[in-house]
Amino acid sequence: MNTLHLGCDADAIAQAAALLRAGRCVAFPTETVYGLGADATDPAAVVRIYEAKERPRFNPLIAHVPDVDAATREGLFHETARRLADAFWPGPLTLVVPRAPQGGVCDVARAGLDSVALRVPAHPVAQALLRATARPVVAPSANRSGRVSPTRADHVAGDLDGRIAAIVDGGETRVGVESTILACLGGDPVLLRPGGVPREAIERLLGRGLAEAQATGDDASAPRAPGMLASHYAPRAGVRLDAREIFPGEAALLFGEPRPAGVDHAIAVRDLSPSRDLAEAARNLFAALRALDESGAHTIAVAPIPRTGLGEAIADRLARAAAPR
């Protein structure tokens, strides 16, 4: 398959929307990472995403819609869910809610669940594409399954060229880590995945602490994100966390000062944020992992990074990158 490389002007958006409506897969930028889109109402189109990504099993996908009105046609929002939607949409938040009986997101996209994951992205290109497509669009990150998520169009091309219909290039993504996922299935919201909206902002709105999903699913009634595999975002190199020293043969991923001992001997070095700004670090995380992986180092040693704010999502992604495979 010849993958079209599109810009993001009005013609490109119209072309991309036509492809989506014809059941093809199109990668496009959101403010978090690039997504691989398909018509959420078309099971054959959704299956093409799993094939292109080589996703090992059918995980439910996030349906992207342009606004809260479109979201409430797909899902049932209780009062707290509605408050979260009003406060954080458009933006890097995904809400898992009971599906609306008349909703269009197909069974394959929801992996047969009675709930649906919904997100209203803020990126202007994503917004324009969703409005032009006029259907909910499912979009996992536009990488081969298990690999590092793409924050630039050339990352997408490296993983998926020849496997998808088109890539819409909207430049570098602003947030850099995927959306925060909250389950709102009745009772208090539950954090399924830390992401682009920091926990603290959600807790401020709720006026209380946020419960977390069980990491392991012994309790079948506990809501969790089935796609949260322990090993994920896996570079070829090994990943070593909380490194205060860099050993021979390692590449170094830094977070400003203090720099770990031995960093001058590192095979390659990337600093996520010289000024120790967590938003900047989140934005740079995936591109830095890709670059250090390409250095040929056997291990990427990562300096300690605080876990507050966006640091929680960064720590989550790094823990998955470091997990045994």
Q: Which residue ranges make up the site for ligand TXA (CB under 6 A)?
A: 30, 32-33, 35, 59-62, 92, 94, 96, 110, 113, 115-117, 119, 139-141, 178-179, 181, 192-193, 225-228
What region does 177 belong to: left with phi over 0, alpha with psi -120 to 50, or beta? beta
Residue 30 binding result from Mg ion, ligand TXA, none, given CB thresholds of 5 to 8 Å by partner type:
ligand TXA
SS3 of 142-168: the string is: CCCCCCCCCCCHHHHHHHHCCCCCEEE
**How many residues make contact with Mg ion (CB under 5 A)?**
1
For the chain, helix, strand, coil in percent to 5 are 30, 20, 50
Report the residue number, 120 or 263, with the smaller CB distance to ligand TXA: 120
Tokens standing for residue 39: 């018509």
**Closest separation between CB of residue 132 and ligand TXA, Å?**
17
What's the order of all strands across the beta sheet hosting 137-138?
4-6, 166-168, 26-29, 34-39, 137-138, 62-64, 115-119, 93-98, 180-183, 190-193, 211-212
Report the residue number, 119 or 152, with the smaller CB distance to ligand TXA: 119
Residue 117 binding result from ligand TXA, Mg ion, none, given CB thresholds of 5 to 8 Å by partner type:
ligand TXA
- Residue with the closest Cβ to Mg ion? 141
User: Beta partners for 38?
Assistant: 138
Distance of CA 126 to the CA centre of its chain: 14
Report the residue number, 136 or 227, with the smaller CB distance to ligand TXA: 227
Tokens standing for residue 69: 């009105």
Residue 273 binding result from Mg ion, ligand TXA, none, given CB thresholds of 5 to 8 Å by partner type:
none
**Closest separation between CB of residue 167 and ligand TXA, Å?**
13
Under the criterion CB under 5 A, does residue 3 sit at the interface with Mg ion?
Answer: no
Report the residue number, 15 or 141, with the smaller CB distance to ligand TXA: 141
Nearest to 282 by CA among 260, 256, 312: 312
Residue 179 binding result from Mg ion, ligand TXA, none, given CB thresholds of 5 to 8 Å by partner type:
ligand TXA
Under the criterion CB under 5 A, does residue 141 sit at the interface with Mg ion?
Answer: yes
Report the residue number, 185 or 205, with the smaller CB distance to ligand TXA: 185
Tokens standing for residue 17: 């929307």
